[in-house]
Every structure is written in C-alpha cells, then in structure tokens.
Structure 1
C-alpha cells in the first residue's frame, strides 16, 4: 500500500472532482467511495482515486478550507503535446498562475489552478527520466520562507525510507528570494517523490488543511511514533490530524482504516465514526472495539 497519500478537502465536490481527475489522466480510476453520516460537517463523502499509479483521497466536508498554491502537483510530461492537452483540461474554468510557455527550466511549462482551486504544474521534461508522473510540491512562504531545506532534512529524519536528491539554490540577483535558499529540491519519502521550494514573494496564503498528507500505519506503535515526531500544534490535533512545526497538515491513520470505512454494516460504521470523532491520535484497539 502507498505509505503517504495526498488528501484533498473539498466543500461538496469530491465525487465530481474524482470523476474529473480520473478522466484527465490516463491509467486512472475511482477505487472506492464511502459516505459517513453524523459528522460535524454532516454527511461526508470520501473518495479514493488512483491517478497514473498514485493514490489520492478526496473528501467533501464543507467550506472550511480552500486550496492554494502552497501545495501543488507537478505533472511530468514526455511531449509538448501532452503538456498542451493536460493544460487545456486542467486550466478550463481555472486561473493561470504562470502562463503556458517556454521557461529557462522547460521548453513547455505552465502553472494553473483548476476549476476547484487545486494547483497543477504541467511540465515538459525533455530528455529527463520520468520516474513518477505526479509529484507533490511544497512551497514555503511567509513565516516559513527559507525553511525548505530544514524541513526536508526534518522529514528525511522522521521517515525511515527517505532520500534527499538534487537541490537548486537561488543565486545573487534573484531578490526578493535570499541567496542560498531553495529554488527547487527533490526528496523521496517512503518510495514517493516530493519537491520543495522557498518563495519570498508576497503571498496571501500559507499551508492549511485543504491539502494534507496521510501516513498509513500498520501498528499503534507506528502511529505513536509519527504523532510524536510530527505534531507541533496541540490545537490542531483532531481525528488523526496534526500540524507540523512548519504548519503543514498530516493525518496519521491506521492502515485498516479503509476497510473500517467500507463496512456495509451501517450501525458498525456509525459506531466507528462516533469513536474516531472523539479521538485526537487514533487508538487502533478502541476503533476495533467500536
């Protein structure tokens, strides 16, 4: 099972967005859909999809959080035609942040927010090898600008299977970005590629719960480990959610949670839902007893 899964919070559009994204990307499908009742957000749809081999979880849980470019998804393309095709679909009804065109780092690239507000970077890779089609990209802005390298090293120390790849730094004359901070850095956690960057430009956004990273844990010991290592904001601890010291949201969840959520016994599902809504850190034994 994919150890770390991007989790996307929608108002009411999770099912619709799941159909849209799986139609945009080849070799993609909806894996399963579950509806939870009697949550603080009312009835909540949870949809698991697979996009070109990578799993995502989407939830419709009310208008509490909005997507922003602090976390985006970079799509690596083999051809310029593929870039153009994806750009047309993903930018329709959305907002271009960097117009589709030629840039020093790619002959064909664009950054857009789609019609749901989710950010996508679509990039022609040229002769570079494409190991992973979609890469979660984390941008450190505002109070945490300049901390991308520290964060990468921190995440690499927390996860057991981690590697830091190529790092490109800002140079002289690239103000407002400070020389030596991260222009682009690649790193791998538990077999998934990620990217990070600093941006000192004035942005009216920062990390929020609209995008979180779910860590699937086989044991209570593992849940306890990641919770202790990552959680830095006690007020954010709820239902398996936490925020790290940079403000990025994570969910530390039991691997068996998916099966619990698929339970066809509505009374059992209701008891499990009631149990986990009361928890901060998940207690696997208590969930199984519910």
Structure 2
C-alpha cells in the first residue's frame, strides 16, 4: 500500500541541499527533486521560477517531502521525527545499531542544537533529541529487539501552549477519520509528576492509514507550537475523499490556502489528489491552484 500521509517540511531555499545531506547520513535514504516551480510564477515568486519546488526524501521506505520555499516558516520541535535503531535491522547486532545511531547523531548535531543529550535514560540505553542545522528535530533511540517492531521513522507530535493536554483527544479524533487507525500504547504523567500536569500524555502511539505516529503533551510554557513548518499531506483518490478530510479537519478559515488547512489543535495539513503531479502539468494549473483554498479537482 502506498503511503497515504506524507510529512512535508518547509525549507528556506535549501531543500535540495538538505535532501542531499539527509540522503548521505540516514540509513537507506535517497533524495530527488519531485516537482519544480513553473516559469510563469507570480512576481513575488519570481526568484523561484524553474527551481526545485519539492524534494522527495525516502528514508528506509518512508517518504518525507521537503518544500523549497522562503523564510515565511521554519520547522520547530512541535513535530519531530523518531528514528528507531532496532538491533534486528542490523542482524541482531546491538553494537552495530548503536554505532549507526551515534554516527547519525554526530552528523545531525553538527551545526545543530542538542535538546536532550545523547545518553542512557530509564526508557532506553541510548537516546538523544537534536535540532539539526535546518531546524528539523530528530529523536534517536536504541530500541529493544524484544519489543514490538516499529518503523525506522515515526513522526511525533508535541502538544504545547494552548493545546497542552490535548494529545490523547487529538489522537482519538484523528483515528476516527482515517482507515486502519487506532490509539495504541499510552504512558501518562503520574500524580507525583513535577513540571507536567498529572494524567497528561508522557508518550503515546497511534496509527492513521496503517502508519505509526507518536505524541506527547509538552507543557504550556514552550515557545513553539504547530505551524506550517511541518505539515501532514494526505493523498486522496477523488473529490469526495478530499472533501471528507477537508471538512473534518479545517478549523481556521484564514489558514485555508492552496489545499492547506489548520485543524483545531493548530496542526497543518495538506489535502491533495493522488494525481497532483499530473494535474499540475495542465496549462495554467499553478495559477489556478494559487487561487484556491480547498482544491477542486475539476477546476484544474
């Protein structure tokens, strides 16, 4: 089954460079330009005419799309990417898994910002959280081969500020919209917790369209929240399916533009047809898209 939900990450004119960087350091990764700006863009986008618009990054079979745009947005820790270094992926060799984790960590930390030091923690013998040179946040963890298998890459949503405490509610809501979905393991902050509201989510998992996500309540006092720096692109078969996700998710009218929306938690989504590449090859398609809020397939 093809990947239905594709995280999109916003870059400031350097998505191509970033794609090459990630392809060079992440196990089983490759990158290629998947779309370019047309030559007849609006005046305010003139510098991008003919340049890369999106770069597809394949990480061990998981697709991320890097958006080549301007400085309007930047990724932040509200959406990070878990990298699960399972010894079973290294023929059961725990030392090889750890060495691979350490090598990726060193590359991501170079020019970046360490948010949690790479160290031993109660939940893992090797874990760290780093924001790389492009502002993308990664959590690297050495997992147990005895545990339940998880994909190498899993997006994590961190609910902060006004939506702190909403992680469980959001996971249930999202799971109600997608096929092959459900809420999995949940760990909550205990009554004696300090720095977090007891009962809020310390770590949780959920599936949407048979894809794993994780989530946590991050607290009300952070200086970051969901925005367009990272969005979730949902690929749909037809207008009816597009309408289904759009109508269920959109909650901020001023955020509706070119197929983008923000939901009631502030998380950004893009609801786009599976054949978007084909649609964009039609005469005047880019200009038509720029005039739309919800995408209308027949209007391309």
Residue 161 of structure 1 contacts residue 189 of structure 1 at CA under 8 Å; is this kept in 2?
yes
Match of 1:135 among 134, 149, 154: 154
Pair 1:117 & 2:117 matched: no
Q: Does 1:163 align with 2:182?
A: yes
* Residues 1:63 and 2:71 are matched in the alignment: yes
Partner of 1:177: 196
Q: Where does residue 96 of structure 1 map in the other structure?
A: 114
Instruction: Compare 121-130 and 62-71 and name the one that shifted more.
Output: 121-130
Partner Cα distance (1:215, 1:201) in 2: 28
Q: Does 1:247 align with 2:266?
A: yes
Match of 1:192 in 2: 211
Contact kept? 1:170, 1:183, Cα under 8 Å: yes
Q: Does 1:54 align with 2:62?
A: yes
1:34-87 Cα shifts (integer Å, max 9, x gaps)? 221415544262111211100111111100012110000000002222221110
* Structure 1, gaps ≥5 residues long: none
1:184 alignment partner, SS class? strand
Q: Distance in 1 between matches of 2:220 and 2:120?
A: 22
Q: Does residue 1:147 correspond to 2:160, yes or no?
A: no
Q: Structure 1 residue runs of 4+, over 4 Å off?
A: none
**2:118 and 2:216 mapped to 1: Cα distance?**
20
Aligned-pair distance for 1:31? 4.2
Q: Do residues 27 (structure 1) and 28 (structure 2) align?
A: yes
Contact 1:41 1:61 in 2 (8 A): no
Aligned partners of 1:200, 1:221: CA distance in 2, in Å?
37
Change (3 A) 1:129 1:82: farther
In the alignment, is the contact (CA less than 8 A) between 2:185 and 2:204 conserved in 1? yes
Question: Does 2:76 correspond to 1:75?
Answer: no
Hey, what's the Cα distance between the residues in 2 that align with 1:209 and 1:92?
A: 25
Q: 1:26 deviation in Å?
A: 2.3
**TM-score (normalised: structure 2):** 0.90
Aligned length: 281
Runs (5+) with no aligned partner, structure 2: 87-96
Does the 8 A contact of 2:179 with 2:210 survive in 1?
no
Quote how far apart the aligned CAs of 1:118 are: 0.3
1:280 to 2:281 alignment: no
Match of 2:225 among 197, 206, 220: 206
Q: RMSD between aligned alpha carbons?
A: 1.4
Q: Aligned match of 1:45 in 49, 53, 58?
A: 53
Write the distance in 1 (CA, Å) between the matches of 2:210 and 2:108. Answer: 27
Alignment partners' CA distance in 2, 1:32 and 1:199: 34
SS of 2:37's equivalent in the other structure is strand
